[in-house]
């Protein structure tokens, strides 16, 4: 029996370390990823771990540890430098970066996607009120490229129809944008009160009204609808997982729509775990019925 190499053992440890992050930070994505095959679940977990690591740097963890803005920026710069080096060498002393690089090098994820991501993370450190153009650029870097990273993994699954790549790309970007806008709306209180941010141009959180909320909800629903055609082209396991995430965020959008606008500054809106499990069961049941009838 061939013994694993030192690098193989190290990579296994890195992937195991990264895999714990999605479970700690997101029940929705963690639940959706359970239906991917082992390899795709590992790769999506590796992508999520790096994204979450960077996001936590700028969203308060470094600040709570006592770092000022310049020191926090230095940590983010260091993480990006480590990431780019690992994309070239296939190795990093940072376990999360090493795991991400393993996935990225396998699926062709390059600095074309990581650089816009880090640029958007950096923008959070020096926040100013967004314009429509700057918000679009921010969402592309913070969310749409993450959808494209996941798509890079899904493209290499055997059941994915890659004959219309433009459709797949559009779907991945619009879904990422929808998820990000949902998070902006549900985190309105935390972003404004704790981090001093409001991402929506022309919106004063203290005077947030129903008309503004309805406009944002309509925008999210349009993104979710635009993502649907490309989802149908994915490998059945990826499609099931993405559809589940889509349904979970659609449910959250409905919850936000039903909540009075003034209440969104009083706390974070959630879908409870019981409802999430019911949505997961419904998604699996629908997929099984489609398979039986095909």
DSSP letter string, 9-21: HHHHHHHHHHHHH
**What confidence tier does 28 reach under pLDDT thresholds 50, 70, 90?**
confident
The residue ranking higher by pLDDT, 106 or 277, is: 106
Residue range 74-92: mean pLDDT, rounded: 98
Q: Quick check: 236 and 187 in contact, CB under 8 A? A: no
**What confidence tier does 18 reach under pLDDT thresholds 50, 70, 90?**
very high
Of the listed ranges 38-47, 126-135, 253-262, the least confidently predicted one is: 126-135
**pLDDT of the residue at 207:** 79
Q: Is the pLDDT of residue 292 over 60?
A: no
**What confidence tier does 291 reach under pLDDT thresholds 50, 70, 90?**
low
Q: How far apart are CA 33 and CA 98, in angstroms?
A: 21
**What confidence tier does 294 reach under pLDDT thresholds 50, 70, 90?**
low
Secondary-structure breakdown of the chain: helix, strand, coil percentages, each rounded to the nearest 5:
80, 0, 20
**pLDDT of the residue at 72:** 96
**pLDDT of the residue at 275:** 79
**pLDDT of the residue at 196:** 76
Q: Max CA-CA distance within the chain? A: 67
Q: Is the pLDDT of residue 60 over 80?
A: yes
**pLDDT of the residue at 197:** 80
**What confidence tier does 290 reach under pLDDT thresholds 50, 70, 90?**
low
**What confidence tier does 263 reach under pLDDT thresholds 50, 70, 90?**
confident
Residue showing tokens 């947030």: 208
Q: Is the pLDDT of residue 1 over 60?
A: no
Mean pLDDT (the chain) is: 90
pLDDT for 84-114, tens place per residue? 999 999 999 999 999 999 999 999 999 999 9
The CA-CA-CA angle for residues 253, 171, 180, to 5°, reads 40
pLDDT for 124-178, tens place per residue? 998 778 888 999 999 999 999 999 999 999 999 999 999 999 999 999 999 999 9
**pLDDT of the residue at 25:** 86
Q: How far apart are CA 97 and CA 142, in angstroms?
A: 17
Q: Quick check: 244 and 280 in contact, CB under 8 A? A: yes
CA 156 to mean position of chain CA atoms? 19
**What confidence tier does 208 reach under pLDDT thresholds 50, 70, 90?**
confident
Q: Quick check: 76 and 118 in contact, CB under 8 A? A: yes
């Amino acid at each position: 029996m061939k013994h694993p190499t030192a690098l193989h053992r190290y990579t296994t440890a890195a992937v195991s370390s990264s895999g714990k992050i999605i479970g700690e930070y997101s029940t929705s994505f963690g639940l959706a990823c359970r239906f991917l095959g082992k390899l795709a679940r590992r790769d999506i977990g590796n992508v999520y771990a790096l994204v979450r690591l960077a996001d936590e740097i700028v969203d308060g963890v470094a600040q709570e540890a006592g770092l000022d803005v310049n020191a926090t920026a230095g940590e983010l710069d260091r993480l990006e430098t480590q990431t780019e080096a690992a994309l070239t060498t296939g190795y990093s002393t940072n376990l999360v970066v090493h795991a991400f690089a393993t996935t990225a090098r396998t699926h062709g994820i390059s600095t074309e996607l990581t650089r816009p991501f880090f640029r958007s993370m950096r923008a959070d450190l020096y926040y100013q009120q967004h314009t429509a153009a700057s918000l679009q650029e921010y969402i592309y870097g913070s969310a749409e490229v993450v959808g494209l990273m996941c798509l890079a993994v899904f493209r290499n699954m055997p059941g994915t129809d890659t004959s219309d790549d433009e459709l797949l790309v559009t779907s991945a970007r619009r879904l990422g944008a929808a998820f990000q806008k949902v998070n902006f709306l549900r985190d309105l209180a935390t972003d404004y009160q704790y981090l001093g941010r409001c991402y929506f141009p022309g919106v004063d959180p203290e005077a947030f009204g129903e008309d503004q909320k309805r406009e944002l909800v309509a925008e999210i629903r349009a993104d979710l609808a635009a993502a649907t055609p490309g989802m149908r082209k994915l490998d059945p396991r990826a499609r099931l997982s993405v559809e589940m995430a889509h349904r979970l965020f659609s449910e959250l959008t409905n919850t936000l729509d039903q909540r009075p606008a003034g209440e969104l500054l009083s706390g974070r809106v959630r879908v409870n775990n019981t409802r999430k499990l019911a949505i997961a069961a419904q998604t699996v049941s629908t997929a099984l019925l489609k398979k039986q009838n095909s």
